[in-house]
Chain A
């Protein structure tokens, strides 16, 4: 669909206002722009709009019209969920008073306090919240770049890439090989690659039981490792070959044209290759000049950028301390940020920061595990307070209850991000 100005004006009250009176506050209301409509951005936009009761103009800039969650996308690969279960519209946010602008933010002028859109417009802000998720570090996996992502999908952003990987998985020849190149720390969703391995194995066990899975991993250990390895032994014995750092899992190159993976000098022909490269903050954070290295450092108390007090960075893109990069973390950080931003703009009461995270993973049907922790803001960083993890050898009842709880969480967090569906 082409995006013309007429349609744009029709869908965005804020843009109309800014064209009429650029850089002037509409009705004197403070303006917040949120870039990125995922777990961090959608939550922040919704909470500021909801809690300020119209006192703050909130604009969310998000290119996609349907958001496909990255969390639970492995369950779609495994055949446990449908792709439609993962898609969410922004209608609930719009109904909740957020101006939803479907466009790319391509520039940030911190002096003028404006955001430039790909369609050519420019929007003023008093506070800017960046929640752009991740992009990939160029050259991280030898032989792979974004032009190879159709031959060797990353499937580490929800939506079309996830569907592509599923299609390739279904088309694998009998007894074929599925390879994964796992990412180095830090990256989005620490247990994600290993839940994916589990769900791919779950699919193959039912549809292609002689197929094999190879994982090349630059790390010596990974999140919930004992739980995953126990599960792989119990459910998928002999199917999964995990090659960690010790055995050259970090010395990897790929050839997308030939569909080969070379691990520690040994070349293997594969049928599907899921390359999950090293990650960095979504590009707009770099454009805004708030990154230091791959990530954007923030103050723990309110998620404000260490480079600019009027910019906040949420979720995967932020460098905050001890919290894992997860949807749950981003949602948790968004509420702390929303409270602080609303307080700064309207004088409402600002309460002390409080963070938490829980990550559920599915190993096989009704075999769920979880890890979680609470966090507090210190001067230095977001610091872990307390935590727990599922135990190996738990009963089937416990694992089933954990999985059912994760489904409840999915309903909960998506309602919290996007509001009631309309």
Chain B
């Protein structure tokens, strides 16, 4: 089997340029990794939608891009982009997604915790890439690729938030996100598990996740503030 390779671009984190380690993928090894996905996803000549959408032609496709598959609201919103470009599948976005699907789309029905090993992700991405119609036309990675440290520092996840501070800060959220839940046009964030809340907010802050309002709001929240909000919303009783 032909081996494709891709390189992660250099990324900027704040003002500091950090070379991101390049992972080289091997399609044959990727096929083995794909065993984990086969329960829900098919790829190749006779692939059909099953529990998850088929993965032919995935590269360059926008999120929630198949007309005949019923996607979660989260994915539909991510694909439409609500004012940003909308999420499209390329090596870089798949890499972020596969590492922790809920960081990018909180409400995805994909019940997969994520593939933590960057090397395994690289193999899988190279394997999947062979099933896109026109690989030659697909860029190696988006010019604006966000291959930044989506590997959220465990110290950030370990921060214990102050719910009282979170209650005050939540005022900025509840202008749009109804405290009582409710999901008409804007997703609910009430009772969101704390770690998922933190991961998602940092994904907005790092501009891995698209949405101009959320990037703006999360962009100026510090680690302690995000932890405080997560601590408040996880137990919010109405």
Contact = CB atoms under 8 A, between A and B. Distances in A.
Contacts of B86: 397-398
Contact of A332 (B172, B177, B179): B172
B133 to A, nearest CB: 22
Interface in A5-64: 47, 51
Given A386-B220, A398-B81, A328 B186 contact: no
A402 interface: yes
Given A372-B216, A408-B185, A415 B82 contact: no
Nearest to B80: A401
A344 to B, nearest CB: 15
Contacts of A406: 185
A401 B213 contact: no
Nearest to A327: B175
B212 to A, nearest CB: 4
B176 A412 contact: yes
A230 interface: no
22 contacts: A331-B175, A339-B168, A349-B164, A351-B165, A370-B212, A386-B220, A387-B216, A388-B83, A388-B213, A388-B215, A390-B83, A397-B80, A398-B81, A401-B77, A401-B81, A407-B185, A408-B186, A409-B175, A409-B186, A412-B178, A413-B175, A415-B174
Nearest to A394: B83
Counting chain A CB atoms within 10 Å of each CB, which of B83, B167, B174 scores highest? B83
B67 interface: no
Interface string A321-347: 000000010011001100100000000
Nearest to A338: B171
A157 interface: no
A409 B77 CA distance: 15
B238 interface: yes
Interface residues of B, number: 34
Contact of B213 (A332, A339, A354, A372): A372
Interface of A: 47, 51, 328, 331-332, 335-336, 339, 349, 351, 354, 356, 358, 370, 372-374, 385-388, 390, 394, 397-398, 400-402, 404-409, 411-413, 415-416, 420
A171 B97 CA distance: 55
A354 B169 contact: yes
A351 B163 CA distance: 13
A401 B76 CA distance: 9
Interface string B185-217: 110000000000000000000000000110111
B80 A386 contact: no
B44 interface: no
Nearest to A410: B185
B194 to A, nearest CB: 20
B219 interface: yes
Nearest to A416: B174
Contact of A356 (B164, B172, B180, B212): B172
A208 B213 CA distance: 37
